[in-house]
Amino acid sequence: MPPATANSERQRIAVIGLGSIGGVVAGLLGAAKQHDIVACVRRPIERMTVERTEGATESPIPTLTDPSQAQPQDWVLLCTKVQDTASSGPWLQRLCGPKTRVAALQNGIAHAENLAPFVGGAVVIPAIVYYNGERLAPDRVRYRRGGEHDFAVADGADGQAFAALFEGTRLRTLLSRDFKTLAWRKLLVNAVGNPVSALTLRRNAVFLRDDVAALCLALLEEAVNVGRADGAQLAANEAAQTMARLTAIPPDAGSSMYFDRLAGRPLEIDALTGAVVEIAERHRVPTPLLRMLLTLARAASASSAPNGG
């Protein structure tokens, strides 16, 4: 079934989390007015504004603030940080029915396994997010396109249905026959770029420094070796390609981990660099530089906790 007809009927869609990723999704889906959108949040808002280079888009967003208010949906778009998945469990349990599809718009890997305890019989669709989102206020986000596509999912009926959700919006989805390799390519960027920007407290301009670029390239070489051991079909010059993708991001853009550290929130380090190191241990691939980066980022994350030192 082609994407144009895979999801022709009006869908009921719940978005969990209105941060940098979820705010963009909810705002642009709401503006398209093709589906019924509800956001699951701690505090209600009346509308969501998405700032784009072409101009701002504003749309009303119905919100729920208590899982007891929720009912099963056709789709659940999970847009929280990975470390917040368990706290989203009550929402997922109320929103998921036997025919629900759950799209995990989260960093990292192994989303189907992580979500299994919370979604019952619902289908989990891991999605790679390529756009750069920045939360400006509870009801305002900034969207920057990160390339030709905004999402990538595995090609198949579920992936095609996901792509069809965004018809009528500016968000575009790549359907891939080799999703694992694409997931690793995104993980390479996040596992190195996010903690480096968070630790230096610099936006993406930091990667234009020669010394930082050299360090990142060495970190990426280690991570690429892990990805290959895990079955990803990575190119011979994958580390250099990844570094080029990092430096191509606008210098004034910031990573999610950078914004989390500025706000004093825990860092998503274990789902990113920690995942690479864990897989490296499984395959016995040495990663001394990545281990050092992980240790420093964990220490920075701990200092962001309410009782951190």
Active site residues: 186
Q: How far apart are CA 253 and CA 205, in angstroms?
A: 8
Please choose, from the candidates 258, 245, 253, the residue with its C-alpha nearest in 3D space to the C-alpha of residue 216: 245
Please choose, from the candidates 138, 150, 146, 144, the residue with its C-alpha nearest in 3D space to the C-alpha of residue 103: 150
Q: How far apart are CA 256 and CA 204, in angstroms?
A: 11
**By the 8 A CB rule, do 173 and 163 touch?**
yes
Q: How far apart are CA 87 and CA 119, in angstroms?
A: 13
What six digits make up the tokens of 308? Answer: 């951190």
How many other C-beta atoms are found inside a 10 Å radius of the C-beta of residue 34?
Answer: 18
Place of tokens 């305890």: 117
**By the 8 A CB rule, do 277 and 230 touch?**
no
Place of tokens 């011979």: 236
**By the 8 A CB rule, do 171 and 150 touch?**
yes
How many other C-beta atoms are found inside a 10 Å radius of the C-beta of residue 71?
Answer: 11
Residue 162 burial (CB < 10 Å; 0-12/13-18/19+)?
A: buried
Q: What are phi and psi of 140, to 5 degrees?
A: -150, 130
SS3 154: strand
Q: How far apart are CA 107 and CA 128, in angstroms?
A: 7
